Structure 1
């Protein structure tokens, strides 16, 4: 069973996922354009960390940043290696969409690296479309930018398959 809920980024198993996310990002994108993130930077007003659990085990997470202009940014989506290809990423997207709509966010934005083809494909399946950079980002050779308009009560993601 997969569950998604808002949790603190300071729990050790969640912090370990965030460290793993940074290690993956550092391996894929060494250099000046990578932005590290730590649990403390996600534990503040306007940021919600969604944690996916598979049969009670921490399986993935993503952060929803409320930009306070009717838009939100998804950041730091990561699924633990042992839980990949099990619907965790899609569950996190559904959870982020539901939370965004609940908070009055009508537009989700995200930036994904050009070497992360699996994530890019998942976002596209989830209804995200390409767009240009949004503040505070500028165009870089390693980034792709996407957006999705949200409609209350409607998700373009298919339901989770029975497990």
Structure 2
């Protein structure tokens, strides 16, 4: 799959194909973590005021998505970065994250944080490769042996 064929745009998360992609993400996470270690986020939360939802599409088909949720002044959280299995390996996750960071900067965000499960080495590698560093829990999160917390600050 050629990554230049994929467009990324801000969209409304309340779409049937978004719900289907989130169900796919949840099913994948259930293969990695016990029920008490999984914290799914539904399309309603991804459509809340202030949340920016990005969709990656090829010929109208949803291949991946990510959301940015504000958590404090100038601080936001990456939520639900997920790429459909058939679209992995073409750089879509990296492109979604880069576009999300551009959207964050345009909205005055100077710090982005995220929580990722420790059993997702590809995701952790992606985040580290673009400058995210380990940190402690933020917002309402608490320490969890299955979670890794990461953050990235933007310099002016």
> TM-score scaled to structure 1, two decimals?
0.88
**Counterparts of 1:22-61 in structure 2 under 5 Å?**
22-61=26-65
What is the match of residue 81 of structure 2? 77
C-alpha displacement at 1:55, in angstroms?
Answer: 4.5
Structure 2 match to 1:97: 101
What is the match of residue 110 of structure 1?
114
Answer yes or no: is 1:127 the counterpart of 2:95. no
Question: By how many angstroms is 1:75 displaced?
Answer: 1.0
1:36 deviates by 1.9
| Counterpart position of 2:6 | 2
Q: 1:15: how far off?
A: 1.3
Quote the residue 2:68 is aligned against: 64
Q: Distance in 1 between matches of 2:155 and 2:120?
A: 27
Q: Helix, strand or coil for the counterpart of 2:137?
A: coil
2:140 is aligned to 136
Distance in 2 of aligned mates of 1:27 and 1:130: 24
SS in 2 for 1:93: helix
Aligned-residue offset at 1:56: 3.8
CA distance in 2, matches of 1:91, 1:74: 14
Match of 1:109, SS state, is strand
Structure with the higher helix share, 1 or 2: 2
Where in structure 1 do 4 or more consecutive aligned residues deviate above 6 Å?
none
Aligned length: 152
Q: Report the equivalent of 1:16.
A: 20
Once residues 52 and 111 of structure 1 are traced to their aligned partners in structure 2, the CA distance between those partners, rounded to angstroms, is 21
- Are residues 1:147 and 2:132 paired? no
